[in-house]
Structure 1
Amino acid sequence: MKLENIPNPINIQNFTTENGAVYPSLPLSFTIAGLPLHTAPVVLVNHALTGNAEVTGENGWWNDLIGPDKTIDTTIYTVVAFNVPGNGTDSFIIENYQDFTTRDIARIFIKGLELLKTEQVHTIIGGSVGGGIAWEMLALQPNITQNLIPIATDWKSTDWMIANCYLQEQILNNSSRPIEDARIHAMLCYRSPESFKEKFQRTINTNLSIFNIESWLAHHGEKLQKRYQLASYKLMNQLLKTIDITRNTADFETLLSGTTAAIHIIGINSDLFFTAKENRETYQELKKIKDNVYYSEIDSVHGHDAFLIEYKQLDHLLADIFKAETIKR
């Protein structure tokens, strides 16, 4: 579709990060699917660590949920997705990854919506670090969305999360095979012991004379190395570590008491990364100050990655939120 002469990527000019780094120009590339912009409710989808703005279509990473007649129905909604600048999808790379925090990306996405002449959206939805960016956007602009749907994430990085990101950073900076080795470690956080037991049952890869779990981990490391850039991995890991809507601002309740948005938190019972317990605590805190806050949980052995695996459950949990717009129309 023609975007009223809006270029892709958008240029974010004279951007100063929280840490004081100045970027004269930051390219913000994006995709738009569904109905033309400004003709329908907008759903903003924030991608996860190794994801991108291609959320639907043949190679869309969430095309089980987004598309014609699907839960996020592209015959009803306009679906916008931004690439995190430096995520490696386009030619732009950020070498000084420590210049940025999750809040900086939230500020960039808000600016992107402004330049698309979209002041408020129907829904901001994201999983993992994409959900963390969503939380930061709401804290910065309480009226930016009618619905916030953070999935397998939270409004802050816990000590456990920071510790894992620190280890990732050490691997990325010091390993002779940084992407492969970091990915192997990350897969232990993205899945669960029960998931591995169900999938592998201590079986042996007879061709390689190693355990199948070992060959599977090596495969994931090699696969990511072929399609991902080291600078992008460092940046996205930095964002995962720096989620915190309260850093240098106000407390959690003060920040979110000013929003009328409905907040639909979706946790995963086996998530080792953003634990269900933390999500339930966030829900209980929000219930003290808001009525329109909801918590639901994906039941899965597959850990953090369940939001990318358990499509039927996620589809069911999201259906009620998006069905209301269908009924209105």
Structure 2
Amino acid sequence: METDHDTVSLGEFEFQSGESIPDLELAYETYGEFTGDNAVLVCHALTGSAHVAGHRGTQGTAGQARAWWDDIVGPGKAIDTTEYFVVCANNPGSCYGSSGPASENPETGEPYGTDFPAVTVGDWTEAQRLLLDELGIPHLHAVVGGSVGGMNAIDWAKRHPDHVERVVPIASAARLDPQCLAIDAIARRAITTDCDWQGGDYYGTDAKPTDGLSLARQLGHVMYLSKASMEAKFGRRAAGRDAMRSFPVDPAGTFFPYRDVESYLDYQAEKFVERFDANSYLYLTRAMDNYDLSAGFESDADALAAFEGEALVVSFTGDWHFTTEQAEELADALRTVDQPVAHHVIESDHGHDAFLVEPEKVGPPLADFLEDGVDGKSVTDTVEREDESSQFAPVHTSLFSD
């Protein structure tokens, strides 16, 4: 697979907040060959990078060695790089090569830290538009994204309706619900109350807010799993004898088992803090939390009224982070303005992570939609089911309810 990894300088960039930086750098990767009408923009999720497919040796906060959607993007796969020219950019505010809190402020020679402007999903969309201009791509065949990347995808239909033919928000919604807003708020407080956060100015020091970032990531992982997947994966089992606790335990706690689910969360957190920046986590979660498709318009439908392409909304029955009901609301907004849309519901117990771990379920409808739109052979729309009273399978609307 022909792959190109690069960083482009986009010059002075004004964020939605009104603040600017003198030079926005955007790390990106491209796959395949551009033929004029075959460009597909893939938008990554919260802590993803531009490295969506293939293999690359870099890792740490300069990039991810493991591609995050390699089962979907590549030759002969759902987003077939022998047919499509795929572009994936690391979002501003992240720490995988694009400008963010950890990158150098050219005016001071020091990391921006919390002097970096607040970022929004809209800023990501505008930065991507500038990148595509640099690459000589005026029009997109499709924009595809999962989770907050799905918000990014639908934002393209809102901000640049004439520049894209098809949009595919997967495991996403027009906005977050209060439960997810609450959990994200706790995650940020775990970081900012870590004494090693130092007001965000921890760069160049030996002390980093690893405990706070670890806890934030653990909360994230709980959001990404469903009750069913956690029961199947962990149950109430104790961890193995060699498992080591990552956090201090109170004296009474040593009487009780260190459970398998705790060990899993600790392991994931330890790996995450090695490669991600705490300030970036603050910035990116706020961008996700702040996104509201209807902002500046009377409704979601009004925000999408200028879009004349087609949309495929994909949701998963076990996902309580972005539920099937929220996805249906997004699809219904498009129906309201008479745009061709299919809401494809996938039966899954994997929770929010399903869009990453079940490519065999995501791939066929995605591939068929990219080729034939809503008329694709594997694309189904829940409203077209004979029994509309049972459109949706049960959803884990709360991880904490029975």
Match of 1:102 in 2: 121
The equivalences for 1:137-286 within 5 A come to 137-175=156-194, 177-207=211-241, 208=243, 209-286=257-334
Q: Greater relative contact order (Cα 8 A, min sep 6): structure 1 or 2?
A: 1
Match of 1:15 in 2: 13
For 1:265 and 1:132, locate their aligned partners in 2 and report how far apart those are by CA, in whole Å.
Answer: 11
Q: Does 1:49 align with 2:83?
A: no
Report if the CA contact (8 A) 1:103-1:245 is conserved.
no
Q: Per-residue deviation at 1:40?
A: 5.2
For 2:325 and 2:319, locate their aligned partners in 1 and report how far apart those are by CA, in whole Å.
Answer: 9
Structure 1's consecutive aligned runs of 4 or more residues displaced over 4 angstroms after TM superposition are none
Matched letter for residue 351 of structure 2? G
Distance 1:13-1:152 versus aligned 2 partners, 3 A rule:
same
Match of 1:108, SS?
A: helix
Count of residues paired in the alignment: 322
Residue deviations 1:168-214, cap 9 Å, x none?
Answer: 21112113511111011111111011111011121111314411011
Match of 1:67 in 2: 74
Matched letter for residue 201 of structure 1? G
For 1:116 and 1:38, locate their aligned partners in 2 and report how far apart those are by CA, in whole Å.
Answer: 12
Match of 1:305 in 2: 353
Q: Per-residue deviation at 1:157?
A: 2.6
Report if the CA contact (8 A) 2:54-2:74 is conserved.
yes
Distance 1:98-1:128 versus aligned 2 partners, 3 A rule:
farther
Report if the CA contact (8 A) 2:36-2:137 is conserved.
no
For 1:13 and 1:98, locate their aligned partners in 2 and report how far apart those are by CA, in whole Å.
Answer: 15
More strand by share: 1
TM-score by length of 2: 0.75
Residue deviations 1:86-141, cap 9 Å, x none?
Answer: 31112743233662111111111112112222111111000011111112222111
What is the aligned counterpart of 2:368 among 312, 320, 323? Answer: 320
For 1:70 and 1:63, locate their aligned partners in 2 and report how far apart those are by CA, in whole Å.
Answer: 9
Matched letter for residue 29 of structure 1? A
Structure 1 or 2, whichever has the larger Rg, is 2
Identity of matched residues, %: 27
For 1:220 and 1:28, locate their aligned partners in 2 and report how far apart those are by CA, in whole Å.
Answer: 27
Residue deviations 1:32-66, cap 9 Å, x none?
Answer: 1011x345501100111111111111232111111
Distance 1:262-1:173 versus aligned 2 partners, 3 A rule:
same
Matched letter for residue 63 of structure 1? D
Match of 1:79 in 2: 86
Match of 1:120 in 2: 139
Report if the CA contact (8 A) 2:118-2:283 is conserved.
no
Report if the CA contact (8 A) 2:239-2:259 is conserved.
yes
Match of 1:205, SS?
A: coil
Where structure 2 has 5 or more consecutive residues not aligned to the other structure, the ranges are 56-65, 102-112, 195-208, 244-256, 377-402
For 1:279 and 1:44, locate their aligned partners in 2 and report how far apart those are by CA, in whole Å.
Answer: 21
Where structure 1 has 5 or more consecutive residues not aligned to the other structure, the ranges are none
